[in-house]
Amino acid sequence: MAIRRGRGVAAINYPTGMNLGGDPTQALVHSTPTGNFMVTLSSVDLGQGMKQIMAQICAETIGVPTDRVVVDTADTDTGPHCMGTFASRGTHRAGNAVIQAAREARQVMLEVAAEELEVNASDLETDGQGNILVKGAPQKSMSIFDVALSAHFKRGRSISGRGMFLIPRSYPEKETGAMKPSTCYAHACTVAEVEVDDETGEVTVLTVKNVFEIGRALNPKMVEQQLVGGSWMGISHALYETTEPYYPNRDHGGTDFNQYLMPGLGDLAETEIIVLERPSADGPFGAKGPGEMCANPQIPAIANAVFDAVGVRIDALPITPERILRALKAQAAG
């Protein structure tokens, strides 16, 4: 009886969004009378940072500081249509819609500023700090605050825009069933090191090293938090989480989160995250969707590491001590 060490590797790709009726998302952007901007979406922030990223995308497109943008995702009854926050689609689909809406609003803003400055709108640019400048003559400028006031109370213009992102629909080939379910894919690879006690079946995850290719990280710190948290979730799925016993009855199953097994801080492995940026051709500023993918590759990597350690293949989750011991017993008997 001994503690045996193993290493496992797994690589995956993961589609961004889906292919159902074009997977559409709409966005609305408008300016307040004081030059702040409101983004209206029906895409929901589940805690993954949707509002922050949409604010960044809008601000970058219009040319204002991020703190001048407010994102409203409050009401799917009155907001523009969205297929939903799932399938790792939020940043990609909603982000593209926000860019379209923000470009339209920016164009109206520049047209109003052009009237005030008596130049062509094509001769204007923003400085990212809340001002509109004449190209080549920055001393001739106007604040976006004043442009918004002029639009609302003098020019009778609505600084607003509409955006909708829709992917080309892919239909299955009749002969083969082949189709293109997504326009871009994120990728990941995980190497996990474990120790397995071949007497008790207990698995200890020592290290998890992850490489994620996610297009472009629009907010690197939020991406890091998402990927580290996802890696821990992957460990949890691999070794702990289950609704069993579920069939034929739930008499002895957990009834709340006090009885639902998850790893504690002492059970989490040393985790390393490396982000590769390969911008997507159709992503907002090159972004893809890292959302769900971040918890996937750890599961097969840990399963492979267990196999490398003790020579038994566990093909059901979670990989519990009981399953490992049963497999070892069957191996010895065979």
DSSP state of 91: I
- What percentage of the chain reaches a pLDDT higher than 90? 73
- Which among 11, 45, 6 has a CA at the least distance from the CA of 296? 11
Alpha helices, H only, 172-319? 220-239, 298-310
Same fold? 3-16+182-333, 23-167: yes
pLDDT 10s digits, 36-90: 999 999 988 887 889 999 999 999 999 999 999 999 987 888 889 988 888 888 8
Residue 245: pLDDT band (50, 70, 90) is: low
CATH class of residue range 3-16+182-333 = alpha beta
| d(C-alpha 303, C-alpha 258), whole Å | 26
Give the CA distances from residue 244 to residues 101, 119, 260, in Å, rounded to whole numbers and listed in that order: 47, 70, 10
Element (H, E) at 138: strand 137-143
Peptide bond into 318 cis (omega under 30): yes
Task: Clarify whether 292 is annotated catalytic.
Answer: yes
20 pLDDT more than 80:
no
pLDDT 10s digits, 197-208: 999 999 999 999
- Which among 87, 16, 106, 94 has a CA at the least distance from the CA of 50? 94
Amino acid at 93: R
User: Is the pTM value of this prediction over 0.75?
Assistant: yes
In the chain, domain spans: 3-16+182-333, 23-167
Give the residue carrying structure tokens 């590797």. 9
| d(C-alpha 194, C-alpha 192), whole Å | 7
21 pLDDT more than 80:
no
Q: Which two tokens stand for residue 332?
A: 């010895």
pLDDT 10s digits, 121-171: 999 999 999 999 999 998 899 999 999 999 999 999 999 999 999 888 888
> Nearest 10 degrees: CA dihedral of 288, 19, 94, 82?
-150
User: Which residue in the list 118, 272, 292, 322 is annotated as catalytic?
Assistant: 292
Whether domain 23-167 has CATH 3.65.10.10: no
> Are the CB atoms for 8 and 305 separated by under 8 Å?
yes
Q: Which two tokens stand for residue 329?
A: 């017993």
> Are the CB atoms for 35 and 144 separated by under 8 Å?
yes
- Which among 314, 199, 203 has a CA at the least distance from the CA of 267? 203
Amino acid at 327: A
- 3-class SS at 29? strand
pLDDT 10s digits, 26-45: 999 999 999 999 999 998 88
Q: How many CA atoms lie within 13 A of 35 on its CB side?
A: 20
